Chains A and B, each alone.
Chain A
Amino acid sequence: MQTTSELLAQALWGLGGVLAFLFVFLISNKAIRELRERRAAALRRELEPKILAYVNGQGNHLGPILGPLGHFESSVVEEILLDNARFLKGAARSRITSACEDLGFVRARISQLRHPRWWKRAEAAEKLATMKSPKAAPELIALMRDEMPDVRMRAARALGQLDTRTSIKPLIDALQDPSRWSSLRIADILAGMGPSAADELSESFNTLPIKARVAAVDCLGRAKSVRAGGLLLRLLSDPDRDIRARAAHSLGLIGDPNFTPDLLKALKDPEWPVRAMTAKALGKLARPEAVRPLAEALRDKEWWVRINAAEGLKSMGEEGLAALIDALSSEDRYARHAAVATLEGAGVLDRFVEQLASADEKERETALLFIRKIIAAERTDSLTQSASRHAQEKVRELLSRALKPSEVKP
């Protein structure tokens, strides 16, 4: 029969043994990892010049340049190719895709798409996105039915990178199923695919559910598809106000000046979100015929419309700024406030404050006239600050005098 102290000693020996084993395991594991990293770095130094020479145009195929590759060498070559794919486009980028196909990396990653562990499938989709090989399209399309949302989304992103017509359709199908997909994220991928995706999206537009339509309209604008102009102009009369508002916004992003007459009509839409987005779009088109309607929109009862109208005028150069300065004398208090905020943001107020220091009396008078209009518009925060902090005493004095209540002449 063992005594308690013997049992304790045995337990301590056992524990010590386990700890020693763990210690040896961790140390050897770390040593193996470091050795592996060192070997990979040495291999990288050896192979990288040959790979970069190929990427920059030497030889037709990378395989014969590198010779036979083992498993470890292959993983280093793939890493070098994908690292360089991040910042390249054009011929060098296409050569990376060809090398990934020739050396079997595309095939290997396609096989990995069927791996039982989800993160392995996700990793494979990610790598295939960087390889940009159209050969991966059918398998990536199949992966869009994966049980894991993260894997599905990476497959969708990879398809967006492939930029082939076959990859557009499944993405549009995904847009039709908001229960499984985020419409916004899919629309984002489609927008990145440019005009060809926008064309197919325009054709399928009527089949989309309402939530997806809003995302699709955004996507058409971000893809800057001039060919989608007809559809977007028709959507300015859609019964849904969100669709009308997003259509106006997208028309602004596309930026065709021929959209101006329809947008000027939309500026009178009964729903304020449509008017707000239209004002923003008109600012982007910057047509002179929009100056007056935008100046009128400064009196809109909705703050968002007034601010977008003011911002729109700001982007229209001297003519727009003149309309904003005119609005300082408007009977409408909201219009005056929107004008002051925008002129401040555009640096016009600072310019006139600086002009107060001019040696030319006429210039000083013009500046004072403008500043009195700002004061009459009842937004004097910035002027009050300049009156106490401006570097020049003369400017501080003139501003302080103008800000006295008796001096205000609307």
Chain B
Amino acid sequence: MNPSRILIADDDSTIRRFLVTLLADRGYEIHEAPDGEQAYRMAGEVKPDLMLLDLIMPFKDGFDVLQELKAQDTTAHIPIIIMSVKDREEEIVKGFDLGAEDYVVKPFNSLELISRVKKILDRSRS
């Protein structure tokens, strides 16, 4: 079976490198995007099985990326986990309203994140 593809969109290269190590070690195929524009473009090209999406990014913010991906037939099905330092109720609700599958507040627990990733990927496979 092919490994699940995960697209990590975050402008912080330290966080990206951490997530790449964390998830690649568990056998996932990882792709990285350092800004919102590239995240949107790569989601269309790579067709990931899951996307980890930061909210505060240059060129296009995470909410815009999420909204545009959910509006496209070809990318609407991609499950998206928002990962953000924004922890206000309105922001979390907005994320879910726009179609995010889950919302993880930074700082995050890496073991919890793996469980969430695994659960979402298992669900979309079944």
Contacts and interface: CB of A to CB of B under 8 A. Distances in A.
A53 interface: yes
B110 A90 contact: yes
B25 interface: yes
Contacts of A56: 21-22, 25, 110
Interface in A10-55: 48-49, 52-53, 55
Interface string B1-35: 00000000000101101100110010000000000
B108 interface: yes
B108 A87 contact: yes
Contact of A83 (B14, B22, B108, B111): B14
B73 interface: no
Given A52-B21, A53-B21, A56-B25, A93 B107 contact: yes
A84 B14 CA distance: 7
Given A52-B21, A56-B25, A88 B14 contact: no
Contact of B107 (A53, A89, A91): A89
Interface residues of A, number: 16
A362 interface: no
Contacts of B22: 52, 56
B21 A86 contact: no
B125 to A, nearest CB: 24
Given A53-B21, A53-B25, A92 B14 contact: no
Given A83-B14, A84-B14, A89 B108 contact: yes
B126 interface: no
A362 to B, nearest CB: 31
B118 interface: no
Interface string B95-108: 00000000000111
Contacts of A49: 21
A88 B111 contact: no
B111 A90 contact: yes
B104 to A, nearest CB: 11
Nearest to A90: B109
Given A83-B14, A84-B14, A92 B21 contact: no
Nearest to B21: A52
Nearest to A51: B21
B108 A88 contact: yes
Contacts of A92: 109-111
Interface string A48-74: 110011011000000000000000000
A308 B55 CA distance: 32
Contacts of B45: none
A48 B18 CA distance: 9
Nearest to A91: B111
Interface in A85-119: 86-93
A91 B110 CA distance: 8
Interface string B29-49: 000000000000000000000
Contacts of A90: 109-112
B15 A87 contact: yes
Contacts of B21: 49, 52-53, 56
A91 B112 CA distance: 10
B8 to A, nearest CB: 13
A184 B38 CA distance: 43
A395 to B, nearest CB: 27
B110 A48 contact: no
Contacts of B111: 90-92
10 contacts: A49-B21, A53-B25, A56-B22, A84-B18, A87-B18, A87-B106, A87-B108, A89-B109, A92-B110, A93-B107
Interface of A: 48-49, 52-53, 55-56, 83-84, 86-93
Given A87-B14, A87-B107, A88-B110, 16 more contacts: A48-B17, A49-B21, A52-B17, A52-B22, A56-B22, A56-B25, A83-B14, A87-B12, A87-B15, A87-B18, A87-B108, A88-B107, A90-B109, A91-B110, A92-B109, A92-B111
